[in-house]
């Protein structure tokens, strides 16, 4: 079994200490921090999702797997982000929308944006439209990045955009959306400026949105 396959299995099995050990070992072996996401963390969580959908896993197993994935991301985060002074690409208000508690993908996107030179204002999960508006005003953000993992909460992206428009901020910020159920069509239909399929795409998109 390769290092990444071992790590995927440890995440699926919810073995946080093993994930921590494997991450540290792989880093010592010269694996680049960004490689862990496409090769271990994302495929492992996709398998967890499949098992949840097929009723092989229930919430406790999923939570334990998410905690194990976090054992890796906690180590990788400081290695991915640059120092404050080098963050000049723009300020991004980042969140998972109201009613939605999924934050693994959002955290990966935030980490990748941070490592690409963006300053991140992370509102966490369950972020209301009002909280988004307040953060954009307070931090003079030029980008809003909203994530949703539930089909039932996608509509709260639309509410976030409407709240920004009501507050007179729509022309001052670019808005990008993403998350497993989100599509390019959905993004267009709610008036977002762009859709990111995964974290690397989100970084490219953020760069192009702030450049235009």
Q: Which is nearer to ligand B1M, 90 or 105 (CB)?
A: 105
Least spacing, CB of residue 109 vs ligand B1M, in Å: 5
Q: Which is nearer to ligand B1M, 26 or 205 (CB)?
A: 205
Distances in whole angstroms, Cα of residue 129 to Cα of each of 72, 154, 156, 163: 31, 13, 8, 6
Q: Which is nearer to ligand B1M, 22 or 199 (CB)?
A: 199
| Cα(42)–Cα(71) distance, integer angstroms | 14
Q: Which is nearer to ligand B1M, 26 or 100 (CB)?
A: 100
Q: Which is nearer to ligand B1M, 52 or 159 (CB)?
A: 52
Give the residue at shortest CB distance from ligand B1M: 105
| Cα(73)–Cα(77) distance, integer angstroms | 6
Least spacing, CB of residue 97 vs ligand B1M, in Å: 10
Q: Which is nearer to ligand B1M, 30 or 106 (CB)?
A: 106
The torsion of the CA quartet 123, 126, 127, 130, rounded to 10 degrees, works out to -150
Binding site for ligand B1M (CB under 6 A): 42, 45-46, 48-49, 52-53, 59, 62-63, 66, 99-106, 108-109, 145-147, 149-151, 176-181, 196, 198-199, 202
Least spacing, CB of residue 137 vs ligand B1M, in Å: 19
| Cα(184)–Cα(194) distance, integer angstroms | 7
**Cβ contact 102:49 at 8 Å:** no
Least spacing, CB of residue 205 vs ligand B1M, in Å: 7
What is the per-residue DSSP string for 48-94? HHHHHHTTSS-HHHHHHHHHHHHHHHHHHHHHH---GGG--SEEEEE
Least spacing, CB of residue 85 vs ligand B1M, in Å: 25
| Cα(201)–Cα(108) distance, integer angstroms | 12
């Amino acid at each position: 079994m390769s290092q990444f396959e071992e790590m995927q299995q440890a995440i699926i099995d919810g073995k946080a200490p093993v994930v921590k050990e494997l991450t540290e070992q792989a880093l010592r072996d010269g694996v680049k921090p960004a490689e862990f996401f496409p090769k271990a963390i994302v495929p492992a969580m996709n398998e967890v999702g499949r098992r949840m959908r097929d009723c092989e896993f229930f919430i406790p197993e999923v939570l334990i797997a998410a905690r194990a994935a976090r054992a890796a991301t906690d180590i990788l985060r400081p290695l991915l982000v640059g120092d404050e002074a080098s963050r000049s690409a723009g300020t991004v208000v980042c969140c998972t929308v109201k009613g939605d508690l999924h934050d693994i993908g959002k955290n990966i996107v935030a980490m990748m944006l941070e490592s690409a030179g963006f300053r991140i204002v992370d509102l966490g999960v369950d972020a209301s439209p009002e909280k988004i508006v307040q953060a954009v005003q307070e931090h003079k953000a030029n980008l809003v990045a909203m994530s949703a993992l539930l089909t039932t909460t996608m509509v709260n992206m639309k509410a976030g955009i409407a709240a920004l428009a009501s507050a007179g901020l729509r022309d001052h910020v670019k808005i990008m959306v993403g998350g497993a159920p989100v599509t390019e069509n959905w993004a267009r239909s709610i008036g977002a400026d762009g859709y990111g399929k995964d974290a690397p795409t989100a970084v490219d998109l953020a760069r192009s949105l702030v450049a235009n």
